[in-house]
Structure 1
């Protein structure tokens, strides 16, 4: 896979998850106690042998640069190849500030690349995959473009791209839908193609007024290319809505899903942060939860995820909730179906409850 260039597109629609993306892109949403969403696609690329990865930065890029830095934690801090960044366009004379424009303005980087193929993906999808199998599928079918897709096994209530394929895997139709059924073939937003095809699509689409790679590039040029769908049957979850983030996080409390993502397959890497182990005081009562380093627990935690350095005082009850880094919950407060962003303080005797289908959100640095 050292002849494949990885590209991670961070221009992603956050309209349905804006409560926790006001100051960060979807890619750096905290996840699973110690990870960020971008860790999954980046780790899958590295574990598959890809040694050159480009990050197409969004407008709010500070958290991306802080998390990835030189790429050392993913073994991408290299003298040659390794991690590099594609800067977003800031041309005030052109109102089309888009992913296609960023690609177009960085075409010289792609042209100089020694890699034969380009693997393009977003960062909002959680999975752990070996892309070598996708490359073999691409070569065996003689495809121009290979699209990864999955069958969710449950109804999706957020926007997604659905495809239809023939018996041989050739894609016959692509459509953007507001929701999808459990048996739908849903795109993972990941595409493998030759560098030549990628350059053709970007140049042709942008110079004709396009802005979106999928809509203006692939979907409008299906007649010109052989596009095949490659089905991935492992765990996949797309996080582009608040409910999707909450539901996917709760999935991790299922040991089978946790093992598939983090243990059975190749490791998921993230930025290393050393901390002391979690402390469980004499009154701590913890059931079916993920507890990160640095936490201090004196209350009840059930079916929940606690990130680093969370303090739970006596009498606190937490159920079905996500508590991010640095939060403090004071005596006798109760939270159920709640997401607390970083550095939230819940004072004593407070009761917060959200719905299972729409959790209550406490934004970053809030004091209640």
Structure 2
């Protein structure tokens, strides 16, 4: 594909303080063995992109360790491949960037030096499985300046403020764009993914520099919806927006339903790749039992696990009961312990004879390296 991929790693970090306190949003563990960035990278690789960059903001060490040279996504190559840009740059750009436009200003030279005709911009907090070739064909067909990917879905008032909504005419062109509204109901919700011609994106960036624009959604989409030809491509597959601890928990639990798991990981558009780790098979004790759960490799399960997601290297002691919970990498649960509706970050330790009960609408979160 004749396209350059640009991935923003931290557009929603301000709203996920628990999960993103020591890592970027892109590096948040998901689904037992993945990171959020795996879905964006896999979509691009499966669509034929072989050149892309990740624009980081803060806490990006674990992201760099996970992505590495990009070999697990077939991106370790002499020409093209993947680059990770740190948040600072020379010249007038000091400190952390403020919005997508401000971030793009700092990689303008990289964009200008690229020979690809099209550019795909994407965040990491949206989970879906898509073929970008279809989006680019639609972009060409409509002679669009900006093609936005969206899905029709119901939104709630308490989460609508994290979303961008499109009003679309019969031809598919956006005639109004609502950024971070307070509303509820069925809407055309942005997947925070856009396709543009590279030349057009360069003009946008130069215009942003001249007028000190920083925010792509406000300063380009919403304020200039009538001036630009913004067309909207509808995505109809499985979609999840990770914008809070609650949404992280709810969408993770959805993966325990076979139909949703298959629609995300086994779609016709291609598989989801992640970093390969040489972990041994999970060991189950003679009295262990597991039901309706995702359990990764490298675990030791000696208790009872039900309706839960267990990441690599987790240990569950004898006579312990784990229900409706998410245990991230290398969590240790002692013996005779009961967990229900709990999320543990990496390397958490819960000692013997503990009872921790959360709620499905408000799971209890245990920080990284915590000892309970």
Considering the TM-score relative to the shorter chain, is it more than 0.5?
yes
Q: Alignment partner for residue 246 of structure 1, among 245, 249, 264?
A: 249
The match for 1:332 is 336
Provide, for residues 194-224 of structure 1, a one-character-per-residue CA deviation record: whole Å limited to 9, x for no partner.
Answer: 0111111122123312221222232222232
User: Following the alignment from structure 2 to structure 1, what is the Cα–Cα distance between the partners of residues 146 and 30?
Assistant: 31
User: Following the alignment from structure 1 to structure 2, what is the Cα–Cα distance between the partners of residues 129 and 93?
Assistant: 34
Answering whether residue 320 of structure 2 is matched by residue 319 of structure 1, we say no
The match for 1:344 is 348
User: Following the alignment from structure 1 to structure 2, what is the Cα–Cα distance between the partners of residues 336 and 152?
Assistant: 30
The match for 1:360 is 364
Does the CA-based 8 Å contact 2:163-2:181 persist in structure 1?
Answer: yes
Show structure 2 runs of 5+ residues with no match.
none
Moved more, 216-225 or 137-146: 216-225
User: Following the alignment from structure 1 to structure 2, what is the Cα–Cα distance between the partners of residues 292 and 201?
Assistant: 44
Moved more, 69-78 or 348-357: 348-357
The match for 1:36 is 35
Moved more, 11-20 or 90-99: 90-99
Does the CA-based 8 Å contact 1:319-1:337 persist in structure 2?
Answer: yes
Provide, for residues 254-274 of structure 1, a one-character-per-residue CA deviation record: whole Å limited to 9, x for no partner.
Answer: 101111111233111111001
The match for 1:227 is 230
The match for 1:151 is 152
Supply the RMSD in Å over aligned alpha carbons: 1.7
The match for 2:299 is 295
The match for 1:140 is 141
Does the CA-based 8 Å contact 2:155-2:187 persist in structure 1?
Answer: no
Change (3 A) 1:121 1:281: same
Alignment map for 1:60-79 (pairs within 5 Å): 60-79=59-78
User: Following the alignment from structure 1 to structure 2, what is the Cα–Cα distance between the partners of residues 21 and 127?
Assistant: 20
User: Following the alignment from structure 2 to structure 1, what is the Cα–Cα distance between the partners of residues 113 and 97?
Assistant: 24
The match for 1:97 is 97
The match for 2:114 is 113
| Matched position secondary structure for 1:19 | coil
Does the CA-based 8 Å contact 1:27-1:36 persist in structure 2?
Answer: yes
Moved more, 213-222 or 260-269: 213-222
The match for 2:312 is 308
Change (3 A) 1:181 1:316: same
| Matched position secondary structure for 1:55 | strand
User: Following the alignment from structure 2 to structure 1, what is the Cα–Cα distance between the partners of residues 355 and 138?
Assistant: 53
TM-score by length of 2: 0.94
User: Following the alignment from structure 1 to structure 2, what is the Cα–Cα distance between the partners of residues 300 and 178?
Assistant: 43
User: Following the alignment from structure 2 to structure 1, what is the Cα–Cα distance between the partners of residues 134 and 327?
Assistant: 37
Show structure 1 runs of 5+ residues with no match.
none
CA drift of 1:232 comes to 0.4
Change (3 A) 1:109 1:154: closer
Answering whether residue 207 of structure 2 is matched by residue 208 of structure 1, we say no
Does the CA-based 8 Å contact 1:152-1:237 persist in structure 2?
Answer: no
The match for 1:26 is 25
Moved more, 78-87 or 188-197: 78-87
| Matched position secondary structure for 2:361 | coil
Q: Alignment partner for residue 281 of structure 1, among 277, 282, 285?
A: 285
Number of aligned residues = 367
Does the CA-based 8 Å contact 1:340-1:361 persist in structure 2?
Answer: yes
Moved more, 103-112 or 308-317: 103-112
The match for 1:5 is 4
Change (3 A) 1:79 1:94: closer
Change (3 A) 1:263 1:70: same
Answering whether residue 133 of structure 2 is matched by residue 129 of structure 1, we say no
TM-score by length of 1: 0.95
| Matched position secondary structure for 2:232 | strand
CA drift of 1:95 comes to 6.4
CA drift of 1:363 comes to 0.4
User: Following the alignment from structure 2 to structure 1, what is the Cα–Cα distance between the partners of residues 177 and 354?
Assistant: 48
